[in-house]
Amino acid sequence: MTDVANDDIGGSGYSLEQLSDYLDRGRTPAIEEIDGNAECQAILGSLERYGSLSRDLVSRDAAEHPEIDENWFSSLLSTITREVKAGRDIPLASADPRTSISITEGAIRGLVRAAGDSIDGVIVGRCTLTDAALGENTPSAITVDVSISVLLGSSVRAAAEAVRQSVYGALLKHTELQIDSVNVTVSDVHVIPIDGDAR
Amino acid sequence: MTSLPHELENIVLAMPGVVTVYSSGPRVAIGALELTNGSPSRVEVTASGQGSDPERIVVNVGLDASAQAPVTATAIASAIRAALPAGAATAIVVRISSVTERT
């Protein structure tokens, strides 16, 4: 694992490795600094989704393809660690002038990742939101670029289209952003363990 | 007697669609608060210099993806407003920090 494993996540005082251990322990005893931290929770959510690919796959397959698998997984964790950062607050409409409602960039990226990961056989690698207006905290049109890894043997075109629709639907439901486009790039294929020991 | 921040945290946590309330400040600040105030609330309430109404209330929430996040956030703001004295000019900030499927 790269040095990303030792980074402090979201100012919690806990590293990626410690979060992974916490997950392994079934999140007990409860640690307030982790449970009350949005970035830690986003990392834990990703680790849970990739559970079969993290500990099982990496440890099992390291002997067969140590460089490829470990680098790939470390790179993914590094990307996720960057993406969960809260970033800017994107305002949502409020009828009351004394009330401000917003959604963080980190939450939006989390939505995109979860929507992509929800498609069978798909693992989201990187997601990027591009719009100059985001920097001005103004809801505006955005372009979403998502790179994905697809399960070997599945239809690449169908998987990409399913991800595109899922991401679009999630953003439409939970944000007020105008979505210019959702671009999906299949950048990798992967295999998963079958019956606990086959790739 | 429950303090206003704790009362608001309980109100928010009891609302449909709310998964959790996140801390508003970094760990060091929370640790310092813990030393001075005991168990701190995750809802940040800034007291006003004048009168009894708070000047600002900030709540960071994790929401359930089953409902539209903006709708849930608006309901949270309304619930907080309803817990304040009528006519309070308190600024309410609701920040959505995550939207997840319930597991």
Give pLDDT tens digits along chain A (199 positions).
445 556 788 888 888 888 888 988 889 899 988 888 888 888 888 888 776 555 444 554 545 544 446 677 777 878 888 887 878 888 999 999 999 999 999 999 999 999 998 998 888 988 998 886 555 556 568 899 999 988 888 889 999 999 999 999 999 999 998 899 999 999 888 776 554 443 4
Q: In B, which residues are within 8 Å of A89 by CB distance? A: 95
Residue among B34, B7, B32 nearest B21 (CA): B7
Q: By the 8 A CB rule, do A81 and A110 touch?
A: no
- For B48-77, give the DSSP string: PSSSSS-SEEEEEEEEETTS-HHHHHHHHH
Q: Which domains does chain A have, with CATH numbers?
A: 1-85 (no CATH), 88-199 (3.30.70.1350)
Q: In B, which residues are within 8 Å of A86 by CB distance? A: 97
Q: How far is A103 from chain B (nearest CA, A)?
A: 4
Task: Give the three-state DSSP class for B6.
Answer: helix
List Cβ neighbours of A101 (8 Å cut-off, separation of 6 or more).
A91, A92, A93, A94, B70, B73, B74, B77, B93, B94, B95, B96
ipTM: 0.87
Q: What gap in Å lies between CA A92 and CA B74, rounded to an integer?
A: 9
Q: How far is A192 from chain B (nearest CA, A)?
A: 22
Q: In B, which residues are within 8 Å of A95 by CB distance? A: 74
User: How many structural domains is chain B composed of?
Assistant: 1
Contact B94 A89 (CB under 8 A): no
CATH number of the domain at B36, please: 3.30.70.1350
pLDDT in tens, B56-102: 999 999 999 999 999 999 999 999 999 999 888 999 999 999 998 76
Contact B97 A107 (CB under 8 A): yes
Closest in A11, A12, A104 to B96, CB measured: A104
Provide the domain limits for residue B22.
4-100
Token reading at A115: 């929507």
Contact A101 B74 (CB under 8 A): yes
Q: In B, which residues are within 8 Å of A100 by CB distance? A: 91-94
For the entire predicted model, the pTM comes to 0.81
In chain B, positions 63-92, which contact chain A (CB-CB < 8 Å)? 65, 68-70, 73-74, 77, 81, 89-92
Q: In A, which residues are within 8 Å of B99 by CB distance? A: 103, 107, 110-111, 174
Q: In A, which residues are within 8 Å of B20 by CB distance? A: 35-36, 41
- For A13-26, give the DSSP string: S-BHHHHHHHHHTT
Q: Kindly indicate the confidence band of residue B36, based on its pLDDT and cuts at 50, 70 and 90.
A: low
Most distant CA pair in chain A: distance in Å?
60
Contact A98 B94 (CB under 8 A): no
